[in-house]
A and B are shown apart, each in its own frame.
Chain A
Amino acid sequence: MRVAFTVNGEDMAAEDVWPGESLLYVLRERLGLPGSKNACEQGECGSCTVYLDGVTVCACMVAAGQAAGRAVRTVEGLAASGGAGPAPDSRLSSVQEAFVEAGAVQCGFCTPGLVVQADDLLARTVRAGGPAPGDAEIREALAGNLCRCTGYEKIIEAVRTAAEHEERAVRRGGAR
């Protein structure tokens, strides 16, 4: 079957899709977007987290056909479309930049899912004019994303930093 939807604002279509294929498979193997990761393909690890019509989902648990006609945003599109980047020409969003700077990236396999999920947390809090999330709130928001390398300490630090950065940007009225 043919499946068409928008990815990171661009119209895309995949041909000859077998109905059993997941959105994750189509993104990775048919559309050349392997940023979303395939760590468990059981909906347990969060490494394939993408936005589907603005809601974060595990792309491995969404049949490709369910995405037809809808808007998908992946880690590859995060810098362009979400968050207040540290500089207008940066290829990283503020969350991604904070992950790199804090040392929250080791092997990096969980990182794409985590930065999408953290982006969603900031969208719901500081970008909506609310206060920066506390540690307990950060932990709850990221509880569905497994990381095996870091022990999570640097991840919390990164999200905290990104939240503060965006909070300042919102106060200055500089958020997109």
Chain B
Amino acid sequence: MSQTPAARARGDAGSAAGTRAGLSSTARGGVGTSPPRPDGALKAAGEFAFSSDMWMEDMLWGMTLRSPHPHALIRAIDTAEALAVPGVHAVLTHEDVPGEKRYGLETRDQPVLAFGKVRYKGEPVAVVAADHPETARRALARVRVDYEVLEPIADARRAAFDPDCPLVHEEGVPAHPEYNQRGNIVRHQPVRTGAFAEGADAADLRARAAAVVRGEYRVGMQDQAFLGPESGLAVPAPDGGVDLYIATQWLHVDQSQIAPCLGLEQERVRMTLAGVGGAFGAREDLSMQIHACMLALRTGRPVKFVYNREESFFGHVHRHPAAMRFEHGADADGRLLYATLEIVLDGGAYASTTAAVVGVASSLGVGPYEIPHVSVDAYGVYTTNPPCGAMRGFGAVQACFGYESQMDRLAAKLGMHPVELRRRNALAQGSRVATGQRIDMPLPMAEMLERVRAMPMPARRGELADPADPRTLPGGLANTSRGERVVRGVGYGVGLKNLCFSESFDDYSTARVRLEAIGGEPAALVHTAAAEVGQGLVTLQGQIAHTELGVERVTVHPADTSVGSAGSSSASRQSYVTGGAVKAACEAVRERVFALVRERGLVAPDHPAGDLALEGGKVVSAARGVLAPLAEVLGTGAVEETRVFRHRPTRALDPTTGQGDSHVQFGMCVHRAVVDVDVELGLVKVVALDAVQDVGRAMHPRQLLGQIQGGSAQGLGLALMEEVQVADGVIRNPSFTDYLIPTILDTPPMRIEVLEHADPHAPYGLRGAGEPPTLSSTPAIVAAVRDATGRPLTRAPVRPEDIAGVGD
């Protein structure tokens, strides 16, 4: 089941477009070059083993019975009839959970299988193992659950602020006083600066402002819509433990939640990363992991689960829908004076990462702008809607749509160009964000805005060779429009994202690196538990070893729990943290090689370490040139070192003032969108979506572009089409027929400029790159649609009815 073969050491010229200031020359295949990904050929050939491809001769199929009600009491569950179906090997309910009955990433509030009550439609109630998926489906239809249906708690604002609203968890959940947890509120995080810290209210500041803008904004529930469904294979082991082959973002945090529920010691739950078909946050929480292990342990047979697309919509958390009330005041020159923000995030039935999402939404709520007086109140709330948690951008996406909409509104009110207003208020190195944290790394926002504004514009419709070609029109070949009422618009967006885990989290990664001579050539083996989810981390680990050890032959070991935790493939953190761990382990290996060089008498015992290097498979002295082939120095022995890498510590936010150095690093992307809108039909075609992003160091320029373009496309989806539609707790569109993600026809050419202003605190100066483009692309596109239509558009995604009939 190995899916991580040897890294192929091959460079290319690096195809990143645009400026790459300060890119140092490196060995081919090393850091800064763009070698092919080691799993690329297997994936293109259809030979890469994804979690849903796992197969064993005697395996059973697991399947889940889910609640048909968003909110109901469970009076009784009868599994007898299901168990009697021929081919069924087990039917399990909450009574069969061997250990802890609940799990959770931050708060252990989610039942493995529902007991007493169900809190969202789709909550798992029972699981079955059978010899065929159809047998399992028939068995599930025969499980009898007696429900007493309760009124859903569907409105987040009511759940948060109405004292008469029933509690979603009336029996209580583990307390987090530092989150101001009360009632249905999972976390309330205020931020107060300037006059607001002294008790002033908005009226005092409003009187001093030349221009005031207010807006109520909504962001819909977005689905990560990874293509590889939740799936995996649990194999019972002779020692009473279990081996789980699984697609996840963080093996060790899964293990730490699974083991207590199974009543097993952690080391008896051994996990190996199976091929991951995308993640985007949706694999942070557990889905079928515990269920598969329970069934495997009960039946003594391997058990495979594969959700279908409909089930996947119930099987993972979504992006929190947000209801936001923003007010900004500025002087006549457009300099921001104050901002008041209320952000209500619907966390659904279980906490998941809601508290951390609130931490990001509050601390970055005003975005990349210097504002002397800020008052933020961000809330994460329990309802009986589908649970929400991590998705790329994590709380910053929602806030960004709000503050960027406000900036455009303010610019319009002052008669300023939206770029000029943003430039005047831009944060820069040395500025402080609303939490009081000083930005101690480059943040060239003004330069980025100028660069994106200066990019060439796409051809106007009149300049096209054939403006009547329907492929150039909104609606495309469906021929819905002849283009009579197509209007062009341009919009800008800027987003500020924290990178790595924040708020005092002990965020580390572990790497083991082994160097030995194989067949007379030096070869390195890199072993971490870091989840390759498509982003290309497996390539990057090989590049780092290549650069640090000067060897071309680098193999990345499959990720599993036999090495220490690497932390999560989340928060744009793996290049930084696991990259840092691989670098540190390589450096330790290198030091031991240099010790061998001294022992062998190739240099004097007191030879300065700074003079030695490993390059091109050789040990090199700056003063004396090549000393010896590395393979010869290694001989028949191997040098192996394991290192743990931590980024600098962060602090919790003060629960009253929201002050504190809570973040490790800040990332920024700037977008300009150009759209054509058919204002009669409410159709939008995004014509161009161009971006500038500062990444500190382009570790792999081609993969980096893939991150920026992919993130931009997900932002496009949120701007124009993607919303999990929930009515009274029921998802109405759990399919790719009704939940639309951008196709190749919806996604425009994307010109990207990459800047490399190094962060002095980070390995190689790099900055996490995956999330920032997902923030800024959405508001840029919505701003462009506003520019074309003149409509206020306070909601993402924009719906046809929001823009149709302009000018009627």
Contacts and interface: CB of A to CB of B under 8 A. Distances in A.
A35 to B, nearest CB: 2
A29 interface: yes
A152 B710 CA distance: 8
A75 B45 CA distance: 6
A107 B226 contact: yes
Interface string A13-41: 00000101000000011001111111111
A136 B39 CA distance: 30
B248 to A, nearest CB: 13
Interface string B271-285: 000011111100000
A128 B227 CA distance: 33
Contacts of A151: 706, 709-713, 747, 750
B346 to A, nearest CB: 23
Interface in A53-108: 74-76, 78-79, 91-92, 96-97, 99-101, 103, 105-108
A37 B132 CA distance: 19
Interface residues of B, number: 63
Given A37-B50, A42-B737, A103-B34, A140 B44 contact: no
B710 A35 contact: no
A106 B706 contact: yes
B226 A111 contact: no
Interface string B734-747: 01110001011101
Contacts of B43: 105, 108, 111-112
B488 interface: no
A140 B45 contact: no
A42 to B, nearest CB: 6
A163 interface: no
Nearest to A74: B46
Contacts of B115: none
The residue among A74, A79, A139 with the most chain B CB atoms within 10 A of its own CB is A139
B736 A45 contact: yes
A139 B228 contact: no
B37 interface: yes
B45 A92 contact: yes
A44 interface: yes
Interface residues of A, number: 59
Given A106-B535, A108-B39, A146-B743, A92 B702 contact: no
Nearest to A142: B744
A140 B709 CA distance: 20
Contact of B736 (A18, A40, A108): A40
Main secondary structure of the interface of B (DSSP, over half): loop
Interface string A135-160: 01011101111111111111110000
Contacts of A146: 227, 736, 741, 743
Nearest to B472: A136
A100 B36 contact: yes
Main secondary structure of the interface of A (DSSP, over half): loop
Given A38-B52, A143-B744, A153 B749 contact: yes
Contact of A136 (B53, B55, B471, B703): B471
A148 B306 contact: no
A163 to B, nearest CB: 15
Contact of B278 (A38, A99, A105, A109): A109
Contacts of B279: 107
Given A42-B736, A149-B534, A76 B45 contact: yes
A98 B563 CA distance: 35
Nearest to B132: A18
A150 B309 contact: no
A109 B471 contact: no
Given A103-B703, A105-B43, A38 B276 contact: no
Interface in B706-765: 706, 709-714, 735-737, 741, 743-745, 747, 749-750
Nearest to A29: B55
Given A34-B53, A149-B534, A39 B45 contact: no
B709 A153 contact: yes
Given A38-B52, A109-B227, 7 more contacts: A40-B309, A76-B46, A99-B40, A111-B46, A139-B744, A150-B713, A152-B713
10 contacts: A37-B227, A92-B41, A96-B44, A101-B36, A115-B44, A139-B471, A139-B745, A145-B744, A150-B710, A155-B744
The 10 closest A-B pairs by CB, nearest first: A35-B46, A107-B534, A108-B43, A151-B709, A109-B277, A75-B46, A151-B713, A44-B736, A34-B53, A96-B44
Interface of B: 12, 15, 34, 36-37, 39-41, 43-50, 52-53, 55, 132, 134, 224-229, 275-280, 306, 308-309, 469, 471, 477, 533-536, 702-703, 705-706, 709-714, 735-737, 741, 743-745, 747, 749-750
